[in-house]
């Protein structure tokens, strides 16, 4: 007869082996799990994307703050803001205002390579235009190169770097609420348009802080042009290399007029004006602007045009309020 102890152990062991077997997922159950995961991803993805865009917008805002700080330090040293830069007045006037503030942005290594006795398209200055300045582009936009294929140095196969931050010439046209007509330099050239004269980064003048009588916290200094359609229009109306302040035919390359709404693509029509390329961005809702006091604001795309133009004027005396 078998020992009862061994008999019981055998029965218990067999029972344990049987109980330890796991039941496999059916195909239906697997599909349900996959569907649940898909729903969770779909719910979370917009939140993740929104968080990333918020971080990019904050980084863009910081870029504008750095430009504002550099421009204020330039003003404290030179007792005026730099002129925007355009050709036809004297040598090196076609160099951008961004070149002039490089020492105040801790970019003296680039500043020392600028040839101040020649144009932006000289051999030396073309090489400078192919140097990337950190903080000169909006993180929400991936296009970093100039849209002009002619802006290549002798050793480069790609155009130089562009920038997404531009000075403001001033408002263009008429303010429909106040009735005032803004001044310009009356230098209109076909395809380029006039150059507004009432802003702070004026291409033909070095404006002092004292001249901003509308208030430094109410007046635009710089803004972003980084929305997709602005960076990639066809023909000669693409944005230029960051070292260029202006060009033939009274173009303003590092400053722009404010005539059309934010994110407007009217300049891609049959008769666009290069100087009127709209400010705008890929940020939801509007574009960011640096004001003369150094602050940064997001201006909504649906801002009343009378208020928008008033904020681009340094001394218009407009008394306007949001509706």
Among the listed residues 185, 263, 171, 275, the one whose alpha carbon sits nearest the alpha carbon of residue 226: 263
Written as six digits, the tokens of 128 are 């400078």
Q: Within a domain: residue 103?
A: yes
- Measured from the Cβ of residue 30, the count of other Cβ atoms closer than 10 Å reads 11
Spatial neighbors of 47 by CB under 8 A, at least 6 apart, are none
- Percentages (nearest 5) of helix, strand, coil residues in the chain: 35, 15, 55
Domain that holds residue 266: 46-312
Query: Phi/psi class of residue 19: alpha, beta or left (left: φ > 0; alpha: ψ in -120 to 50)?
Result: alpha
pLDDT category of residue 232 using cuts at 50, 70 and 90 = low
Q: Tell me the three-class secondary structure of 128-154, residue by residue.
A: HHCCCCCCCCCCCCCCCECCCCCCCCC
Q: Once rounded to an integer, what is the mean pLDDT over residues 90-115?
A: 88
> What is the SS3 assignment for 321?
coil
Euclidean distance between CA atoms 92 and 116, whole angstroms? 6
Q: Within a domain: residue 26?
A: no
For the stretch 200-215, pLDDT in tens is 998 888 999 999 999 9
Whether this model's pTM surpasses 0.85:
no
Spatial neighbors of 311 by CB under 8 A, at least 6 apart, are 218, 219, 220, 289, 299
Euclidean distance between CA atoms 294 and 71, whole angstroms? 9
Euclidean distance between CA atoms 12 and 16, whole angstroms? 6
Q: Within a domain: residue 33?
A: no
pLDDT category of residue 87 using cuts at 50, 70 and 90 = low
Domains identified in the chain, total number: 1
Euclidean distance between CA atoms 259 and 174, whole angstroms? 9
pLDDT category of residue 144 using cuts at 50, 70 and 90 = confident
Euclidean distance between CA atoms 53 and 141, whole angstroms? 11
- Measured from the Cβ of residue 177, the count of other Cβ atoms closer than 10 Å reads 15
pLDDT category of residue 7 using cuts at 50, 70 and 90 = very low
Q: Within a domain: residue 4?
A: no
Euclidean distance between CA atoms 280 and 240, whole angstroms? 16
Euclidean distance between CA atoms 199 and 196, whole angstroms? 7
């Amino acid at each position: 007869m078998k020992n009862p102890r061994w008999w019981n152990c055998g029965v218990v062991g067999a029972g344990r082996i049987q109980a330890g077997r796991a039941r496999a997922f059916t195909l239906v159950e697997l599909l349900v799990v996959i569907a649940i995961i898909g729903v969770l991803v779909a719910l979370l993805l917009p939140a993740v994307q929104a968080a990333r865009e918020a971080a990019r917008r904050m980084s863009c805002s910081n870029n504008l703050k750095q430009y504002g700080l550099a421009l204020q330090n330039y003003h404290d040293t030179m007792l005026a803001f730099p002129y925007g830069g355009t050709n036809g007045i004297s040598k090196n006037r076609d160099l951008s205002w961004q070149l002039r503030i490089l020492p105040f942005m801790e970019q003296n290594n680039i500043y020392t390579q600028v040839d101040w006795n020649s144009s932006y398209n000289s051999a030396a200055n073309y090489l400078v235009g192919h140097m990337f300045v950190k903080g000169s582009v909006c993180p929400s936009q991936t296009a970093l190169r100039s849209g002009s294929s002619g802006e290549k140095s002798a050793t480069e196969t790609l155009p130089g770097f562009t920038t997404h931050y531009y000075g403001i010439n001033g408002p263009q046209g008429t303010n429909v609420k106040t009735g005032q007509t803004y001044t310009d330099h009356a230098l209109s050239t076909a395809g380029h348009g006039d150059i507004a004269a009432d802003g702070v980064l004026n291409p033909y003048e070095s404006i002092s802080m004292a001249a901003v009588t509308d208030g430094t916290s109410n007046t635009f200094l710089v803004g972003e042009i980084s929305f997709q359609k602005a960076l990639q229009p066809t023909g000669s109306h693409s944005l230029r290399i960051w070292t260029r302040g202006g060009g033939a035919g009274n173009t303003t390359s590092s400053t722009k007029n404010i005539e059309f709404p934010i994110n407007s693509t009217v300049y891609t029509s049959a008769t666009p004006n290069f100087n009127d390329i709209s400010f705008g961005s890929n940020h939801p809702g509007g574009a960011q602007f640096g004001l003369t006091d150094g602050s940064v604001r997001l201006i909504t795309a649906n801002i009343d045009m009378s208020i928008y133009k008033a904020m681009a004027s340094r001394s218009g005396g407009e008394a306007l309020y949001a509706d």
